[in-house]
Amino acid sequence: MRTVDLESLAIFRTVVEEGGVVRAAAKLHRVPSNVTTRVRQLEEFLGVRLFRREGRTLALSAEGHTLLNYAVRLLRLADEAVNEMRNRKPQGIFRLGSLESTAGSRLAPILSRYHADNPGVVVELVTGTTSALISRVNNFDLEAAFVSEPFTAPDLAATPVFREELVLITSKAVDRVRTPKDLGHCTMIAFAHGCSYRKRLEDWLSADNVMPERALEFASYQGMIACVAAGTGFAIVPKSVLAALHATDKVKRHSLPDHVATNTTHLVRRGEPSLALESLVSLLTAAG
């Protein structure tokens, strides 16, 4: 659909401000006939007369007054848009994904600082499993996401941002867990399939040919930890989450082998980063 171009509005506004075509042409460095033609083309497009002649001067018609109000506002907005882009200030909605654990234990101070530095950005935070978040980044539903090892994402750029230590938790009634066989007749409590921490736990168990008696799936660490504390089963969680939820004294922690316990959270993205994402990466780099 054809619409009014900003150049025509700028010429129209200049004719009004200068009080005539000749002076407007001089200011715009155009010949008067060109200015007259552009004004007439604008009138034809809108189907109204914008000026009426009073002697040797031009006066705005009622429709001209109405258009002038819009022209001033539209040209001002256009100038603001150009200034924002040239100043490279992030603006608009920034859709960011995160693991539940990262959102609960890591992001609060980071996003608070980010908001202070970028007041023109609205962050929409979406949580999910590593698998689900990677899928949404691949589909451009999210611009970036915090995900955990192990994952496979050949089309995405990945930047390591947080180191996590994972621990096995049980109720306090459990004295010690020496090997996966000690958990063979217990219930595994975890997020749904697609959670990278669950994958680590399942790989550790299966390496010793251990199969949990059953699995209960939860959507939050609060629910998982409460269930473990009640004696229902065992789970794997980052130590940072236990600290953030003030739950360290509610469960029994058990160390895991280094190859299971040591984990890295990555920020993944697809394509060139926006100004909003560049700002977040800079903040994470400074904080790291």
For residue range 92-144, list pLDDT tens digits in order: 889 999 999 999 889 999 999 999 999 989 999 999 999 999 999 998 899 99
Mean pLDDT score, 50-78 = 88
Q: Cα 132 vs. chain centroid, distance in angstroms?
A: 15
Per-residue tokens: 43: 């009138």
Which tens digit of pLDDT belongs to each residue from 190-239?
998 889 899 999 999 999 998 888 999 998 899 999 999 999 999 999 99
DSSP letter string, 151-189: ---TTSEEEEEEEEEEEEEE-TT-----SGGGGTTSEEE
Q: Is the Cβ–Cβ distance between 211 and 204 less than 8 Å?
A: no
Q: Domains in the chain, please, with CATH? A: 6-87 (1.10.10.10), 92-163+264-287 (3.40.190.10), 164-263 (3.40.190.10)
Q: How many CB atoms lie within 10 A of CB 100?
A: 19
pLDDT (0 to 100) of residue 288? 65
Strand partners of residue 269: 144, 157
pLDDT of 2 over the 70 cut: no
pLDDT at residue 71 greater than cutoff 80 = yes
pLDDT band at 53 (very low <50, low <70, confident <90, very high): confident
